[in-house]
Amino acid sequence: MSTQTTELRIGMVGYAFMGTAHSQAWRTVNRVFDLSLRARMAAICGRDQVRVAEAAAQLGWQEHTSDWRALIDRDDIDLIDVCTPGDSHAEIAIAALAAGKHVLCEKPLANTIDEARAMATAAAAAEAAGVRSMCGFNYRRVPAVTLMRRLIADGRIGEIRHVRAVYLQDWITDPQFPLVWRLQKDRAGSGALGDIGAHIIDLTQFVTGQRIAGVSALTETFVKQRPLPAASSGLSAATGDGLSGTGAVTVDDAALFLARLDGGAIATYEATRFATGRKNGLRVEINGSQGSVVFDFERMNELEFYDATRPSAEQGFARILVTEPDHPYMSGWWPPGHVIGYEHSFTHQARDFIEAIATGADVAPSFADALQVQLVLDAVERSAALGSMWSEVEPVLT
């Protein structure tokens, strides 16, 4: 950090969907959690001068700029929050780390393995100088998911046998939905696989403590040509005037794979943007030798727990309402029974990163953890390209 301060001065790059979610988190985190550093929303950056000025006013940033390099060069900024499309993550994050700024980077870490490796290397070098980095896999910070990990780590479901994970959306089922950046490989890296498949890869590795060691995959692009957009931002886009023509979709619409985890579990994964009627359907079920746990994002304040060690007459899935003060993160929020939502996971992410910076505690997911996810994405693509051939996933050595 440039100067000693009890403030953590944030510079954020990007202001679409994720930028808005992160802004909400920085704005809220110190009101909810008692932390030794205070986040200050110092400056926001975006390419369009007018729109970034509007975003700054709307989201609560003190200043705005259209030059991310100038933002990184400022010695009154301590942390750079990267909320841009994947094609600029590596460049911005590596430059920020080199300038001594802590970095929070949205997922997936990068668009390619090479970029992700370079980011993890830069993060390791910066770490030696006390500069921290984290990748934004926010669903880890849903209290029910963190509780799921705790129950598994405490041995409450025994040895893990099965992992069953799906992430289902439907926002591009209409073939007339325009060719937004998320459908272009050079901008997004991959499609449903990297955008939402990455979440369930990270989440399942997080809760089980096991690494995906190999996969057999298939991917599909159902709609291969789409109208060029007139304008787009986040998940919304305006269709063109009909005169601009169409362009090729260069990413997967859906990705499915079987996997082996290095602790002995076997797993299935499905990520798709074509699950008609499923808006943001993230569901993970883990079956162990002594029980099961189930998380469903549509009921994100609950965790289902089946304890096979209970007397048979009392067995059945119990629904734990994860709103007690001794549940992860919940002591900061409302009295028991008062549920929280999607945006709170980002506040928890900001909380954990601030605490790690303040105390020197380990950061998770680190860029090395996010590289591990990237290696799985790569193995899925290799396997699919070779007709579902088994592809090993190498471990990241830290």
CA–CA distances in Å: residue 291 to residues 77, 102, 347, 363, 372: 48, 40, 31, 30, 28
Shorter beta-carbon distance to ligand SOE: residue 146 or 169: 169
CB of 17 to ligand SOE, least distance (A): 5
- 154: helix, coil or strand? coil
- 168: helix, coil or strand? strand
Cβ-based neighbour number of residue 315 at 10 Å: 13
- 284: helix, coil or strand? strand
Token look-up 């933002």 returns: 71
**Total residues interacting with ligand SOE, rule: CB under 6 A:** 6
**H or E segment to which residue 195 belongs:** none
**Binders in 47-106 for ligand SOE, by CB under 6 A:** none
CB of 235 to ligand SOE, least distance (A): 6
CB of 25 to ligand SOE, least distance (A): 13
Q: Rule CB under 6 A: say whether 169 interacts with ligand SOE.
A: yes
Characterise 14 by phi-psi region: left (phi > 0), alpha (psi -120 to 50), beta (else): left
Shorter beta-carbon distance to ligand SOE: residue 125 or 231: 231
- Interhelix angle 89-98/113-127, nearest 10 degrees: 20
Does the bond joining 143 to the residue before it have cis omega, within 30 degrees of 0? no
- Interhelix angle 342-359/17-32, nearest 10 degrees: 60
CB of 139 to ligand SOE, least distance (A): 7
**Binders in 303-362 for ligand SOE, by CB under 6 A:** none
Q: Please give the residue whose beta carbon sits closest to ligand SOE in the complex.
A: 195
Q: What residue type is assigned to position 225 of the chain?
A: Q
- Per-residue interface string for the shown chain with ligand SOE, residues 1-40, x marking contact by CB under 6 A: ----------------x-----------------------
Q: Rule CB under 6 A: say whether 196 interacts with ligand SOE.
A: yes
CB of 4 to ligand SOE, least distance (A): 35
Task: Give which of 27, 194, 33, 34 is closest to 115, Cα–Cα.
Answer: 194
Does the bond joining 365 to the residue before it have cis omega, within 30 degrees of 0? yes
- Per-residue interface string for the shown chain with ligand SOE, residues 256-295, x marking contact by CB under 6 A: ------------------------x---------------
**Contact pick of 235, 238, 386, 389 for ligand SOE (by CB under 6 A):** 235
Shorter beta-carbon distance to ligand SOE: residue 87 or 195: 195
Q: Rule CB under 6 A: say whether 181 interacts with ligand SOE.
A: no
Cβ atoms 17, 234 nearer than 8 A: yes
Shorter beta-carbon distance to ligand SOE: residue 323 or 349: 349
Q: Rule CB under 6 A: say whether 298 interacts with ligand SOE.
A: no
Residues that bind ligand SOE (CB under 6 A): 17, 169, 195-196, 235, 280
